[in-house]
Chain A
Amino acid sequence: MVLQHKDWHAFALVQSRLDEEGRRIFFAIGAGLFVPALPTEENWLSAATVPHKKISKTRWRPLPPGSLQTAETFATGSWDNEENYVSMWSIGDFGNLDSDGGFEGDHQLLCSIKHHGDVMDLQFLDQERIVAASSTGCVTIFLHHPNNQTLSASQQWTAAHYHTGPGSPSCSNAPCTGVVCNNPEIVTVGEDGRINLFRADHKEAVRTIDNADSSTLHAVTFLRTPEILTVNSIGQLKIWDFRQQRNEPTQILSLTGDRVPLHCVDRHPNQQHVVATGGQDGMLSIWDVRQGTMPVSLLKAHEAEMWEVHFHPSNPDHLFTCSEDGSLWHWDASTDGPEKSSLFHQGGRNSTFLSHTISNQANVHQSLISSWLSTDPAKDRIEITSLLPNRTLSVNSLDVLGPCLVCGTDAEAIYVTRQLFS
């Protein structure tokens, strides 16, 4: 493995920067350019009074199916403030490159809405609706109105997660730690070890598994449609099938021995049995849920908690991780170098898969076996690039879509790049 470090001079005060080759541009939003698109009183107040907060989650708004656009709107959630917010941002139109090849940072805050408690997780349900998980145990669907740039709460499940102990009633809410959406289904997990299945059009939970886990559930993802996968704080992956009435997991996979807590999980977009998880020790684990109860590979990665891991949705040989140690890494497992990655452009999953098979006629079989499951270290070099220059505080969240990446930090800065594969 090769660890490269690109010495970018990204500095949150200045909005756009390029690297030495003048290629990839990260611009940091020092959270200072908060001019709402429409200065309605509501917008203005939220922008004027709370411009600065620690970012807990960043998510790209999904693109309409078949769209050739690149991502341009993202949502953020804040944490650990007296007042927390869910906000929508725009990074402006694609194509207004200035003469130096840099982007003029015309990113701006579109709108914000107050959120009760820390935003623990954030997921888009569809293009207009976004689901937020709160440290108060509440799950809220916010509706984004693009016409007048406002956010409103359209549905809420208060106390979706709660403790039933003899503790005082004020403490009985349990933080909801993770959300995953597959419109119209929403699955949430929490510190109370509970799994909830909601439907966007139902007032009550469709299914609840109490005591699904004796420890804290940290994250959840869909495996195949009725199946979900959860990770917990004692290093276990559990697969649950909503078709079964029993409140027991269908399968448990675990790290042996150390019981290192797992904090994040993502499933390979094309190969549904391949799963990546990140742990408290910063290790990246790749699992094949079809076989064995142990990870296929363990990769030494960050120096502290890995908060998020994401396969690139249309280019899954690339993986991105971020950590408490303030680093953001790009893992490239594509075996035959940069000319392959140039074939991948933004766009739908289908076109990518097509180009994938065409470009590798000779070893179609090999490319179907995920490059992540290969156990031959000599043949498959994983190239790692550190994407942020000077690490200070934790990078809490990241999201990738097409050639765009957005991440948010505890240093109250948001970083965006639109040229991941240039």
Chain B
Amino acid sequence: MEEFDGEPTVTVRGPRTWIPGVNSQKKQMCFDWGPGEMLVCETSFNKKEKSEMVAGCPFIHIIRKDIDVYSKILRKLFNESHGIFVGLQRIEEELTGKSRKAQLVRVSKNYRSVIRACMEEMHQFAVADKDSAIGRQFSSQVSILSAVELIWNLCEILFIEVAPAGPLLLYLLDWVRLHVCEVDSLSADVLGSENPSKHESFWNLVTTLVLQGRLDEARQMLSKEADSNPTSAGMCRVLGDLMRTMPILSPGNTQTLTELELRWQHWHEECERHLQDGTFASNPHLESLCKVLLGDDAALLEHKELLSNWYHFLVTRLLYSQPTVKPMDLHLYAQSSLDLFLGGESSPEPLDNILMAAFEFDIHQVIKECSIALSNWWFVAHLTDLLDHCKLLQSHNLYFGSNMREFLLLEYASGLFAHHSLWQLGVDYCDHCPELGRVSLELHIERIPLTTEQKALKVLRVCEQRQMTEQVRSICKVLAMKAVRNNRLGSALSWSIRAKDAAFATLVSDRFLRDYCERGCFSDLDLIDNLGPAMMLSDRLTFLGKYREFHRLYGEKCFVDAASLLLSLMTSQIAPRSFWMTLLTDALPLLEQKQVIFSAEQTYELLRCLEDLTSGRPLCGEPDAQQLQDDDIETTKVEILRLALARNLARSIIKEGSLEGS
């Protein structure tokens, strides 16, 4: 993956792929772009059996660009999110304000629920296949998906929900509770035991509940402690009261932020007083909880294990020291929380950087870091699109492509097109890229392998719906060629008619006529008899249709109509010259009928045609034996024709004369 911001750079960052069997002795590593988003590298592996016979033909290693597209479980993610994506594009532009925001939030939640569903399914597979390499692969994917969901959720709160001071913290609390969920199993474990307050993890549980701001549950736990330990019952009650009286913003409440701040200040002072008075001095657990309630950094960091990560630390810290934190101040607290939590022992990881960028409200940095860290385009493409619908990305231009949303969507779509089965999803992504989507679709759609006509019809439908005439023609031509190769002339003609491809229709018609000349009968009558207006596509096709009509008329003994049709085929120049002799030969039986069919005038026309044909024949230099024989037959034919025409002329003159006379 490349840098896609600022000036183009030469340095390559991002995930590295290890290629087995690369010959490092060679000065150069050869690689090339193969079809469908893959990079092909030469390796030093040789075919084992035939290594001596086939020299210089090493195995190649194929690197796929977007490997996650090939994950079988992630297909669910791609299919489901495609539906959500299409739905999102249909959200009416005129919707403004609250209703629009509500819809966008719902869309965002739908995306997240799909991620969660995939995570759960993958988790099941990982558990079922725990010890194998596949199982481990699944669990690593689960952790990636879980990180993706974590980032998405934070972006939803900060960029889409745009929570103001006050509610912001409530959202962040939910965010932490959703992603640090070990506490639920711990809680079930402790409450399930015989004597919960004597459970070894009892205080860990209470502390975690307090750290996550789940104060009601924490109070219930404390009451259990009070029941079993009368000496600390009083202290527990005091601490429980403190927890109960902590002012929090509830969604239905109408109190203003200033009121809240005031009440919160009073409550904070009360906690402070209890700590100063040594109310909890005799019980270190309770005292430490009280310090947590005061939002004391040192006290919080003592529970580093329970907090498990810096963003949990950040949210807890805010809850007990800055409950009305403003969105704009968030990054200050985030940075200091990160520094305090890591304590200079370790450096931040990619996930930390991404979350930090989000807290700084730097959307582009978030997308950039995600593009570098993740092995698929799914996440950045969908998130960017959603944020674009929130009108957050307008000002940003790239030095390539059209804009970031389109660039990422098209990258993702190319991955889908490279997949043997997911190409149908890619189409809709291209459709919603106004600038380069169409071009991209045109290039991709022609490269889809057409295994059956049914698949071809689906691809054609995509093209026809978008008036992509050039691609329709090319696909039909491919199918027509295939049909010709398979000797399915009827099919070939149908395809060329559908593509309105006159040249190919002429070619197929010629094949039909040649077959007729060889076999003396027509094949595929069901098609040729029903050409209808499609016959006008090419002259040769018209001729084929009309010539077949002549045969039908002749078969039905409508000799007069048949004769005039035959003549008109030659006089109107529809029939190719090479075919005139056949047509004239066809006239023979009509000339030999008992009654006169060709009138005198028609006979003159026929004679003229015959003369045209014989006089226009080029002379050959050195005729060989075969040609001489052919010429012999030809000469005989012409003589028979002349004789028949002369006799018919005589009969017709007599007939016409006597008719006029009578």
Q: Is the CB of B457 within 8 A of A259?
A: no
In the bound complex, do residue A411 and residue B452 qualify as a contact, i.e. CB atoms below 8 Å apart?
Answer: no
A390: B residues at CB distance < 8 A: 83, 87
- Give chain A residues whose Cβ lies under 8 Å from the Cβ of B533: 257
Q: Do A233 and B491 form a contact, CB below 8 Å, given A30-B117, A32-B121, A163-B486?
A: yes
* Contact residues in B for A192 (Cβ distance below 8 Å): 486, 488
Given known pairs A30-B76, A214-B527, A259-B530, the reply for A392 and B82 (CB within 8 Å) is yes
Any chain A CB within 8 A of the CB of B602?
A: no
Residue A76 lies at the interface, judged by CB distance under 8 Å to chain B: no
B461 within 8 A of A: yes
Q: Given B458, B523, B526, which contacts A252 in the complex, CB threshold below 8 Å?
A: B526
Contact of A412 among B75, B129, B455 (CB under 8 A): B75
A54-B524 contact, Cβ under 8 Å, with A165-B487, A171-B486, A392-B83: no
- Least Cβ distance of B413 to chain A in Å? 15
Instruction: Given A233-B494, A413-B79, decide whether A165 and B424 contact each other with a Cβ distance below 8 A.
Output: no
Q: Which range holds the interface residue count of chain B?
A: 35 or more
Q: Kindly identify which residue among B72, B454, B487, B524 contacts A51, using a CB–CB cutoff of 8 Å.
A: B72
List the 10 shortest-distance A-B pairs measured between CB atoms, nearest first. A214-B490, A214-B524, A165-B487, A163-B486, A167-B485, A165-B486, A52-B75, A214-B527, A175-B452, A135-B452
- Decide: B421 and A80 in contact? CB cutoff 8 A: yes
A12 near B: Cβ within 8 Å? yes
Q: DSSP majority for the B interface? A: helix
Q: How far is the CB of A370 from chain B (nearest CB, A)?
A: 28
If the complex has contacts A32-B117, A171-B486, A214-B523, are A411 and B82 also in contact, measured as CB distance less than 8 A?
yes
Chain A neighbourhood of B73, CB < 8 A: 51-52
1/0 per residue B298-336: CB within 8 Å of A? 000000000000000000000000000000000000000
CB distance from A363 to the nearest CB of B (A): 40
Flag whether A86 is at the interface (Cβ < 8 A): no
Q: Shortest distance in angstroms between A38's beta carbon and chain B's nearest beta carbon? A: 15
Which B residues lie at the A interface, using CB under 8 A?
72-73, 75-76, 79-80, 82-83, 86-87, 113-114, 117, 121, 125, 128-129, 420-421, 424-425, 428, 451-455, 457-458, 461, 465, 482, 484-491, 494, 497, 523-527, 530, 532-534
Interface string of A202-220 (1 = CB under 8 A from B): 0000000001011110000
Shortest distance in angstroms between B138's beta carbon and chain A's nearest beta carbon? 10
Which residues of chain A have C-beta atoms less than 8 A from B494's C-beta?
215, 233-234, 259
Whether A41 is near chain B, meaning CB under 8 Å from some CB there, is no
Smallest CB gap from A307: residue in B = B454
Residues in A whose Cβ lies below 8 Å from that of B527: 214-215, 234
Query: Given A30-B117, A216-B453: A234 and B526 within 8 A (CB)?
Result: yes
- Asked if residues A48 and B453 are in contact (CB atoms below 8 Å), the reply is no
Question: A interface vs B, CB < 8 Å?
Answer: 11-13, 30-32, 48-54, 79-82, 118, 120, 135, 163-168, 171-172, 174-175, 177, 191-193, 211, 213-216, 233-234, 236, 238, 252, 254, 256-259, 280, 304-305, 324, 390, 392-394, 410-413
B511 to chain A, nearest CB (A): 11
Report if A165-B82 is in contact (Cβ < 8 Å); known contacts: A13-B113, A48-B125, A82-B420.
Answer: no
Given contacts A52-B79, A165-B487, A233-B494, 6 further A-B contacts (CB under 8 A): A12-B80, A13-B80, A79-B454, A172-B486, A214-B491, A215-B494
Question: Can you name the residue of chain A whose Cβ is closest to the Cβ of B72?
Answer: A52
What is the bound-complex CA distance between A72 and B258, given in angstroms? 62
Contacts of B428 in A (CB 8 A): 392
Cβ of A403 to closest chain B Cβ, rounded Å: 27
Q: Which residue of B lies closest to A39 (CB)?
A: B128
Can you offer 27 A-B residue contacts whose CB atoms are under 8 A?
A11-B83, A12-B80, A13-B80, A13-B113, A13-B114, A13-B117, A52-B79, A80-B451, A163-B486, A163-B487, A164-B486, A165-B488, A166-B487, A168-B485, A177-B453, A177-B454, A191-B491, A193-B490, A215-B490, A215-B491, A215-B527, A233-B491, A233-B494, A257-B533, A305-B461, A324-B461, A412-B75
User: Is B489 in contact with A120, judged by CB distance below 8 angstroms?
Assistant: no
- Kindly provide the distance from the CB of A8 to the nearest chain B CB, expressed in whole angstroms: 14
Chain A residues whose C-beta falls within 8 Å of the C-beta of B484 in the assembled complex: 165
In the bound complex, residues from chain A placing their C-beta under 8 Å from that of B486 are 163-165, 167, 171-172, 174, 192
Q: For the complex, what is the distance from the CA of A58 to the CA of B455, rounded to whole Å?
A: 18
Are A165 and B485 in contact (CB-based, < 8 A)? yes
Shortest distance in angstroms between B190's beta carbon and chain A's nearest beta carbon? 31
Complexed CA–CA distance, A248 and B530 (Å): 17
**Shortest distance between the CB of B616 and any CB in chain A (Å):** 34
